[in-house]
Structure 1
Amino acid sequence: MEVDVTGRIQPVLAGVVTALVGFASSFTVVLAGLRAAGADAGQAASGLLALCVASGLAAAWLGLRHRLPMSVAWSTPGAALLVATGPLPGGWPVAVGAFLVSGLLVVAAGLVAPLGRAVAAIPKPVAGAMLAGVLLPLCTAPVRALVEVPRLAGPVVVAWLLLHRYARRWAVPGALVVAVVAISATSTGAGPGTAGLRPAVELTAPAWNASALVGLALPLFLVTMAAQNVPGMAVLVGYGYRPPFTAALRATGLASLLAAPAGGHAVNLAAITAALAAGPDAHPDPDRRWVASVTAGAGLALLGLGAGVATALVATAPPVLIEAVAGLALLGALAAALASAVADPEGREAAVVTFVVTASGVTLVGVGGAFWGLMAGCLMLLLFRRRRTAAPAEPDESPEPDESAEPGVSAEPGVSAEPAPSYSSPRTLSS
C-alpha cells in the first residue's frame, strides 16, 4: 500500500514542481514583453493571468484526452519578441489584434496539415538565428544591470551562478527570490492597494494594421512554432511518446485565442519544462506521467491568481533588474539557438545574416527586425543554393584514380551536396 501511495503522489509532486519552475523562471519575461508592447500595469497583470489560466485549461484537456504528458505554457521566446519589437503604431489594441491573428494561424496549422509542415520546414539555421537575435537584447540585461545597479544585481547573479552549479533546475527561481528580497529591502515607494493585488481581467478591443500583422503577428506565430511547439513535440518523442501534433496545435491555438483579448500573447506546448513532466522523475511508468502535466496545468492556473502581486513587485523594481532576471532565464535558450544556427557549415553565413538583422532591432515600413531577419536569411540560403546548383562542373582533364571524388561528395571543400537541413515534421522527430 505504501508503494502505491508513493506512486500516486510522485507525478502530482512532479507537476507542482513543473508549474513552479515554469512560472517563476519566466513570468518576468512575459511582463517585460507585455509592457514593451504597450500594456499598462493592469493590462499586463491581466495578460499574465489569462496566459496561466488558458495554459492550464489546455494542459488539462490534452492530458485527460490523450493520456500523455503534454505540458502547456506561454511562449517565452514570443514574450522576448515583444521586447525586441517594442511599441507598435496603434498601441496596445493593435498588439492584441496581432495576438489574435497569431493564435488563428496556429489553429490553421492544426487544421491544414501542409501549413504545419511548411512552418516546420523553415531551415534550421535561419530559425535558430532568428530566435537568437530575438533573445539577445534580454540576455545582455544582466551585464547592464551589474553596471547600473550593482548592489541589487550582484547578489542575483551570484545566486544564479551557485544554483546553476549545484541545483540547476532552481537557478532562475532562486535568483528571483534573491531579487525579491533585494527589491523589498530597498523599495521606499508606496505599494498598490489591496484592490490592485487582486486578480482582474481587463479586456481590450483588438485593432489591426498591416505593419503589426507582418511585423508582430507573423513573427510571433513562427517563433512560437519553431521555438516552442516543434521542440516540445521533440521532447515527448524523445521519451518514447507519439503525441498528436495537430490536436496539440488546435488546443493551444484556441487557448491563445481565449487569452488574447485579456492580454495573453501566445499559448503553446512547453519546451523548457516539458522534460520535468515527461521524464522518468515524474513516474517510473510512462503511462502515469500524464498526471504530472495535468497537475502542472492546474498549478499554473492557480499561480495566475498571483499575477497582480507579481506585477506590483515588478513595478517597484528598477526595470533593468527585472530584465536581468529574465535574461538569466533565457541564457540556456540563447545558447541552444546559437548552436542550432551555426551547426551546419552550409547555412552558417545565412544564419549570421539572420542573427545580425534580427538583433539590430531595425524597423522598416513599420515592420520589426525579426521579420526582416527571417527574410534576409531565407534569401541568402536561396541565392547560395542557386549558385551552387547553377555552377557548371569543371572538366576533369587528367583524372587519377587516387584523386577522384567519391560519388555524392562535392569537389569543393566545405560545400555539401545535400540541401540545408530543416526542421523535420514533429511526427518524425527522433531523440
Structure 2
Amino acid sequence: MLKDLKLSHIVSGAVAVLVGYTGSVAIIFQAIEAVGATQAQANSWMLVLGLGMGLTSLILSLVCRMPILTAWSTPGAALLAVSLNGVPLAEAVGAFLLCAVLLTLTGLTGWFAALSRLIPDSLASAMLAGILFQFGLSAFTSLQTDTALVAVMGFTFLAGRKLFPRYCIPAVLAAGVAWCAGTGAFGSLEALDLTLARPEFVMPAFSVPVLIGIGLPLYIVTMSSQNMPGVVTLKACGYEPPVSASLTVTGLASLILAPFGGFAFNLAAITAAIGAGPEADENPKTRYLAGVMTGLFYILVGLGGATVISLFLIAPKALVATVAGLALLATIGNSLSAALAEPQGREAALITFMTTVSGISFLGIGAPFWALVLGLAVNHWLKPPEPVPVRA
C-alpha cells in the first residue's frame, strides 16, 4: 500500500478535511449552543465527530479499496441548531440514538441500495455537478473579496496544469498558504485554543415528542440530503460502492458515539468528490489511498480537539474556497460531460442539474433530493415507449 502512496493522496486528504471542517463547523457550534452544552461537552462533540469520520472513512476505504469518505450530517446539524432550543441534552442524545438505529437498520435491510440502482448515470452525474457547482463558482467569486490571493492561486493552477499537472493542486495550496503567511492574512494566533478534548458521556433520556420532532427528521434529512448524494457522487466518479455495508458502518458509528456528541454520520458528497476525482490520483484503482489519508487526517483533527479546529477557523475563507473550487474543476467538468452526453436524456439531466444548483428546500429536505425526484419524473415522462412486439 505504501508503495502506491502519492503526494496527491496526502494533499487531497488535507483539502477534504479542510473543506469538511471550515464548510460547516460553525453550524455544529450553533447546535452545541442551542442544546446548552458545557465547554467540556462541546469539546467532546468535536472529538468524537472527528474520530467517527476518520475511523469510518479509514475502514471503508481500506476494506472496499474505494475512496469512500464519510462526514457528519451538515443538514442534520442545521436542523439541530434550530430545533434544540429548550431541549435537555439527555433527550437530544435520545433523539440521536433513534436516528442511529434507523440508519443502521437502513443499511442492514438493503432497501436503500436497491433504490440507488434505479438512478440513471446521467442524472447521477448531473446532480453531482449541481452539488459541486457552487464550490467551483466560489473560486471565482472570491476574486472580488481577496483578489491578490486568488490571482496568485489561479496563476499557479494554470502553470501547474501545463508544467506539473500531477502536483498542480498541492502547488496551489502551497502558494496560497505562502501568500497568506507573507501578507499576514491568517487570523490572530491568540484565537488558538490549546486545550485537549476528552469524551464526555451523556446518559440518554427518551421523550416521545423529541424523538418524533428531532430524531425522525434528523434521519430523513441525513438520508435524503447526505447519503443519497454520497452514493451518487461515488457512482458518478466510476465506483459502485457497497451501499448497505457503508450505511451499516456509519449507522453503527452513530450508535456508539451518539452519547458523546456524534449525532449522525453518513456518506460524504462534496469531500468525497475531492478524494474520488482525478486530481486525487490518475489511477482509479489506487485512489482509495486518498480516502485513507482523509481518514487519518480526520482522526488527527479529532484528537487535537479545539486546537486544530481553531487553526481552520483562522484561515482566510478565500483560501479554502479557492483550493476547493480549483480541486473540483475536473470533477465538475467530467460530471457535466457525462450528464449531457446522450441527447435522449439531456432534458432530464439539465433539470436535475439546475434544480440542484437552485438550492430549493421543501419540508426541510434539500435540493439534491428534489432534483433527483424531478429528474426521474422527467426522464420517465420523456422516455420513448417500448416497442410493441409484432406477432407472427
> Shared topology, TM-score over 0.5?
yes
> Which residue of 2 is the match for residue 159 of structure 1?
156
> Aligned equivalents of 2:232 and 2:294: distance in 1?
23
Q: Distance in 2 between matches of 1:295 and 1:87?
A: 27
Q: What are the residue-to-residue correspondences of 1:231-250 with 2, within 5 Å?
A: 234-235=238-239, 246-250=244-248
Distance 2:233 2:29 in 1: 24
Tell me the CA shift for residue 244 of structure 1: 6.4
5 Å matches for 1:183-262?
A: 183-184=180-181, 185-187=183-185, 189-192=187-190, 195-196=193-194, 198=196, 208=214, 214=220, 217-228=223-234, 230=235, 234-235=238-239, 246-255=244-253, 261-262=261-262
- Indicate conservation of the 8 Å contact 1:47/1:264, yes or no: no
Say if 1:353 and 1:373, in contact at 8 Å, map to a contact too.
yes
1:73 pairs, out of 69, 72, 75, with 69
Deviations 1:201-252 (A, max 9, x none): 6899997277665555412110111213x467x55x8xxxxx9664444334
Distance 1:13 1:303 in 2: 25
Q: Which stretch shifts more, 343-352 or 249-258?
A: 249-258
Deviates more, 1:360-369 or 1:120-129: 360-369
- Equivalent of residue 31 in structure 1, options 21, 36, 41: 21
Contact 2:180 / 2:186 at 8 angstroms: preserved in 1?
no
Specify which of 109, 113, 118 is matched with residue 110 of structure 2.
Answer: 113
Q: Pick closer, same or farther for the CA change 1:143–1:90 going to 2, 3 Å.
A: same
Q: Distance in 2 between matches of 1:328 and 1:98?
A: 38
Q: 1:131 deviation in Å?
A: 1.9
Alpha-carbon distance in 1 for matches of 2:263, 2:227 = 16
The CA distance in 2 between the partners of 1:376 and 1:176, in whole Å, is: 38
Tell me the amino acid that sits aligned with residue 91 of structure 1: V
Instruction: Indicate the SS of the match to 2:29.
Output: coil
**Could you state the TM-score of these two structures normalised by the residue count of structure 2?**
0.70
- Letter matched to residue 120 of structure 2: P
Taking structure 1 as the reference length, what is the TM-score of the superposition? 0.64
1:181 matched to 2:178: yes
Residue 385 (structure 2) aligned to one of 386, 389, 403: 389
Change (3 A) 1:343 1:149: same
* Residue 266 (structure 1) aligned with residue 257 (structure 2): no
Q: How far is 1:180 from its partner?
A: 2.6
Q: Where does structure 2 lack aligned partners over 5 or more consecutive residues?
A: 33-38, 86-91, 205-209
CA apart distance, 1:44: 10
Aligned-pair RMSD on alpha carbons? 4.8
User: Which residue pairs with 2:140 in the alignment?
Assistant: 143
Q: Which amino acid aligns with 2:24?
A: L
CA contact (8 A) 2:228 2:369 kept: no
Distance in 1 (alpha carbons) for counterparts of 2:4 and 2:342 = 36
> Secondary structure of 2:385's match?
helix
Distance 1:195 1:160 in 2: 33
The answer to whether the 8 Å contact 2:227/2:267 transfers is: no
Q: Deviations over 1:265-322 (max 9, x none)?
A: 534696754697996996xxxxxx9999878755653355456455324423443442
The 1:337–1:21 alpha-carbon spacing in structure 2 relative to 1, beyond 3 Å, is same
1:59–1:72 contact (8 Å) kept in structure 2:
yes
SS in 1 for 2:324: helix
SS in 2 for 1:266: strand
Find the partner of 1:91 among 68, 82, 86: 82
- Give the residue type in structure 1 aligned to 2:385: T
Change (3 A) 1:299 1:143: closer
Look up the equivalent residue of 2:21 and give its one-letter code: L
Structure 1 pair 96–23 and aligned structure 2 pair: CA distance change class (3 A): farther
Identity over aligned pairs, percent? 28
Go from structure 1 to structure 2 and tell me whether the alpha carbon gap of 1:149 and 1:18 turns closer, same or farther (over 3 Å shift): closer
Q: Is the 8 A contact 2:221 2:365 kept in 1?
A: yes
* 8 Å Cα contact 2:275-2:290 kept in structure 1: no
1:69-128 deviations in Å (ceiling 9; x for gaps): 45542359x87xx5xx99448538599999988876764454223431221221222222
Cα offset, 1:369, TM superposition: 2.1
Greater Cα radius of gyration, structure 1 or 2? 1
Q: Secondary structure at the match of 1:178?
A: helix
Tell me: CA distance 1:179–1:72, structure 2 relative to 1, closer, same or farther (3 Å): same
